[in-house]
Amino acid sequence: MEGCSSLVIDRETLEERVARSSPEFPYVANLCSMEALMDRTCPWHWHEEVELFYIRAGVLEYHLPSGCHVFQAGEGGFLNAGVLHMTRQRGEVPCLQEEVLFHPRFVGGEEDSLINRKYIRPLVEDPGLALLRLGQDRPEERELLELVRQALAVYQGAEPGWELESKAQAARMLRYA
C-alpha cells in the first residue's frame, strides 16, 4: 500500500509526480489506505495521468474546485488527466482505494497517432469530463470497475507479460470511460 504514502507533490504547481511511474512505462496500480496519510487526507494536487479507482472499503470524498463527490464501498470513478483534486476519508471506517493511473500516451502513443486523435484526445480534452462516477447498477460500469480490480492484481502479480496485459487493460478501461 505504498501509493498513497509516497506522495510527491510540487508545492508551487501542485503537480503530483506519480511514484513508480516512468516515461518508459507511465502506468501504476496501487492499493491505498487513507489511514497512512496525515488527517486521512491527500492534499490538493493534479497529475498528467488519468486515474480510475474502486473503493474497496470505507467512504472517500473526492473534492474538486466544482464541489465534493462522495464514493461508498463498491463504487468508483474515472478522474481525468490534469484535474485539480484532493481526497479525504469520511468517517472512522478505514478507507481502502484500488487505483490505476496511467499517462494518456500509454494507450494513445504518439501525439499524431490515430488512437490518440480518435479516442484519447477527445476524452482527456473534454472540459465537461472531470470526474465520472461508476457504480454497480449499469453492466458497463460494473465491467469497468472489475477491470480496475483486475489491473491491480495483474500489476502486483508481475507475471511474465504483465506489461502487455496492463496496456491492454488500460485501453479497455478508456473504451468504457
Closest CA to 51 of 116, 128, 127, 106: 106
Q: Side-chain half-sphere of 54: how many Cα atoms within 13 Å?
A: 22
Q: Side-chain half-sphere of 50: how many Cα atoms within 13 Å?
A: 25
Question: Is pLDDT larger for residue 110 or for residue 162?
Answer: 162
Cβ neighbours for 128, distance < 8 A, ≥ 6 positions apart: none
For 142, other C-beta atoms within 10 Å of its C-beta total 14
pLDDT tens by residue, 56-83: 999 999 999 999 999 999 999 999 999 9
pTM: 0.92
Report residue 95 as a C-alpha cell.
478507507
Q: 24: burial class by Cβ within 10 Å (0-12, 13-18, 19+)?
A: exposed
Q: Side-chain half-sphere of 163: how many Cα atoms within 13 Å?
A: 5
pLDDT tens by residue, 82-121: 999 999 999 999 999 999 999 999 998 888 899 999 999 9
Sign of the dihedral through C-alpha 57, 124, 169, 153: negative
